[in-house]
């Protein structure tokens, strides 16, 4: 479902956006030095499923990896995702544990 839609990094609003039909899923962020703080995950009710949420987060993480940034998840849902998917722990900055 996600593969056929383009992830948009909206610098102005500081959020990653994925538009599907008329619905907008987004992850808000704050960028400081070489760290990106993922502060809020918003998925419309019509799109929400755990599978969609995981695919959306993975898509955003791939984009962040390409930019060579560390991830600081302040959103509970994203922190929970990293706890379940340990392969992404390497994206955390030194000294940050989840």
Mean pLDDT for back-to-back runs of 10 residues, the chain (98 residues) = 86 96 96 96 95 96 96 96 96 89
Model pTM score? 0.93
What's the confidence (pLDDT) of residue 8? Answer: 97
Q: How many CB atoms lie within 10 A of CB 36?
A: 24
Using alpha carbons, list the distances in angstroms from residue 52 to 8, 43, 60. 17, 9, 12
What's the confidence (pLDDT) of residue 3? Answer: 73
What's the confidence (pLDDT) of residue 4? Answer: 79
Distance between start and end Cα atoms, the chain: 29
What's the confidence (pLDDT) of residue 52? Answer: 95
| Architecture field, domain 7-91 | 3-Layer(aba) Sandwich (3.40)
């Amino acid at each position: 479902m996600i593969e056929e839609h383009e992830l948009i990094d909206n610098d102005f609003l500081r959020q990653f956006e994925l538009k599907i039909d008329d619905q907008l899923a987004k992850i808000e962020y704050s960028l400081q030095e070489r760290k990106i703080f993922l502060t809020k995950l918003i998925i419309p009710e019509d799109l929400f499923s755990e599978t969609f949420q995981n695919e959306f987060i993975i898509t955003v993480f791939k984009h962040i990896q390409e930019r060579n940034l560390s991830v600081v998840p302040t959103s509970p849902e994203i922190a929970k995702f990293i706890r379940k998917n340990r392969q992404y722990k390497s994206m955390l900055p030194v000294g940050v544990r989840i």
